[in-house]
C-alpha cells in the first residue's frame, strides 16, 4: 500500500484494506468532545464491537502525537476519552499545525473523511453531520463537513444533520455542491434525535446493497465528492420532537446570549441539551451511533 508519510494505519486496518476486506472509519470528536467520560470510551468501544459483529473492521480515526491514525488501540481511545476537551477539535484547517507540532487532535467528520480517504477507506459511520448553522445568512457559519462531502470520496452514514442546525439551508448547500443525500428506508431527512424533519431527501434506498451500488457507480464515474446516507434513529429511542426542539431553542438562545460560536458551539449545545432533557438526548445519541455503525458495516460489506 502506498501510504501517506504522515499516516499510520493500525496493522489490522492495513491488512483489511490490502486484502479487500470491508473497513468502516469512525470519528474521535464524539469521544473527546461529544460525550462525558466514561460514557465516551464505553460508546467508542461498543461502536467498534458493533462494526465487527456486522462483518467489517473498525478504524477509529484521530491525530496522536502529530501522526494521522486510521485505527486506534483501546489505550489510545481511553486516552482521548480521559483528556476530553483538552484535545484539540481538529477540522481540515487544523491538520497542518497539529501535525507539525506533534500534537493530538480529535477528528471531526471532515478530518475523519480526509484521513479515511488517505488510507483507502470508503465508508464512515458517525452520529450527525455538521451543516449550515441557524443565522448563517448573517454569520456565514457553515460546517467544513459540507465542503468535505463535496470534494472527498467517502460515504458518510449518519442520523441526519443535528437539529441544532438550519436543516433547509443544509440541504440547499449539499444540493449546490452535488452531494447526493440518501434516506435509508425513508423519504424524509431524519433530524438526529428524531426520525422526521419535514424535509425530503434526494433518494430513498432500502437495502445496504442499493446504497453500495449507487456509491460504486459514483466512484467509477469519477464524480468528485462523497455521499450522505441518512439513517433514522430507531423508533424506540426517538425523542418527542416538541421536547427536543424546545431544548434546542433554549440552548441556542443561551449560546447567542453568551456569544458562543465557531468550533465551540456544537459541544456547548449538545451538553446543554443533555442537561435540559435530563440525559435523554445523550441516551438517544448513543443509540443512533450504534445504529449507524451497524448499517455502515453492512454497506461496506456490499461495497
Q: How far apart are CA 27 and CA 293, in angstroms?
A: 11
Q: How far apart are CA 235 and CA 44, in angstroms?
A: 22
One of 27, 48, 78, 148 is an active-site residue; which one?
A: 27
201 within 8 A of 192, measured Cβ to Cβ? no
- Residue 261's pLDDT is 78
Q: How far apart are CA 100 and CA 93, in angstroms?
A: 13
Element spanning 12, H or E: helix 11-18
Q: Write out the chain's pLDDT in tens, 303 residues.
A: 457 999 999 999 999 999 999 999 999 999 998 888 999 999 999 999 999 999 999 999 999 999 999 999 999 999 999 999 999 999 999 999 999 999 999 999 999 999 999 999 999 999 999 999 888 888 888 999 999 999 999 999 999 987 788 999 999 999 999 999 999 999 999 999 899 999 999 999 999 999 999 999 999 999 999 999 999 999 999 988 888 888 888 988 898 899 887 778 777 887 888 888 887 888 888 999 999 999 999 999 999
Instruction: Give residue-wise pLDDT tens across range 92-149.
Output: 999 999 999 999 999 999 999 999 999 999 999 999 999 998 888 888 889 999 999 9
How does strand 181-184 pair with strand 7-9? unpaired
- Its sign, for the CA torsion 285, 273, 40, 9, is positive
Closest CA to 141 of 271, 245, 26, 269: 269
- Measured CA to CA in angstroms, residue 11 lies from 40, 62, 65, 124, 147 at distances of 24, 16, 18, 19, 30
One of 48, 78, 148, 162 is an active-site residue; which one?
A: 162
Closest CA to 287 of 189, 193, 160: 193
162 is catalytic: yes
Angle separating helix axes 208-220 and 280-302, nearest 10 degrees:
60
Strand partners, 26: 60, 125
Q: How far apart are CA 256 and CA 198, in angstroms?
A: 25
Instruction: Give residue-wise pLDDT tens across range 254-278.
Output: 988 998 877 787 778 878 888 888 8
The reported pTM is 0.93
27 is catalytic: yes
* Cell numbers that stand for 174 in this block: 449539499
Amino acid at each position: 500500500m502506498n501510504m501517506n508519510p504522515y499516516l499510520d494505519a493500525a496493522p489490522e486496518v492495513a491488512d483489511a484494506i490490502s486484502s479487500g476486506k470491508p473497513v468502516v472509519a469512525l470519528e474521535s470528536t464524539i469521544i473527546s468532545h461529544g460525550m462525558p467520560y466514561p460514557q465516551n470510551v464505553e460508546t467508542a468501544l461498543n461502536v467498534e464491537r458493533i462494526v465487527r459483529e456486522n462483518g467489517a473492521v473498525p478504524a477509529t480515526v484521530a491525530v496522536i502525537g502529530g501522526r494521522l491514525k486510521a485505527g486506534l488501540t483501546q489505550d489510545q481511545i481511553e486516552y482521548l476519552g480521559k483528556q476530553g476537551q483538552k484535545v484539540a477539535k481538529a477540522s481540515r484547517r487544523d491538520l497542518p499545525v497539529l501535525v507539525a507540532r506533534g500534537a493530538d487532535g480529535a477528528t471531526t467528520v471532515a478530518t475523519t473523511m480526509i484521513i479515511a480517504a488517505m488510507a483507502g477507506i470508503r465508508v464512515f459511520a458517525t452520529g450527525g453531520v455538521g451543516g449550515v448553522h441557524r443565522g448563517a445568512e448573517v454569520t456565514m457559519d457553515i460546517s467544513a463537513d459540507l465542503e468535505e462531502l463535496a470534494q472527498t470520496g467517502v460515504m458518510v452514514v449518519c442520523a441526519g444533520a443535528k437539529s441544532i442546525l438550519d436543516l433547509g439551508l443544509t440541504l440547499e448547500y449539499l444540493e449546490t455542491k452535488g452531494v447526493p443525500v440518501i434516506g435509508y428506508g425513508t423519504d424524509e431527512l431524519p433530524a438526529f434525535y428524531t426520525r422526521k424533519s419535514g424535509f425530503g431527501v434526494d433518494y430513498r434506498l432500502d437495502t445496504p446493497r442499493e446504497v453500495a451500488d449507487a456509491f460504486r457507480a459514483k466512484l467509477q464515474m469519477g464524480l468528485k465528492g462523497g455521499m450522505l446516507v441518512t439513517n433514522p434513529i430507531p423508533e424506540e429511542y426517538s425523542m418527542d420532537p416538541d421536547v427536543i426542539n424546545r431544548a434546542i431553542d433554549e440552548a441556542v438562545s443561551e449560546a447567542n446570549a453568551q456569544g458562543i460560536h465557531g468550533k465551540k458551539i456544537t459541544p456547548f449545545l449538545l451538553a446543554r441539551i443533555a442537561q435540559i432533557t435530563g440525559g435523554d438526548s445523550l441516551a438517544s445519541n448513543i443509540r443512533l451511533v450504534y445504529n449507524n455503525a451497524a448499517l455502515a458495516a453492512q454497506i461496506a460489506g456490499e461495497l
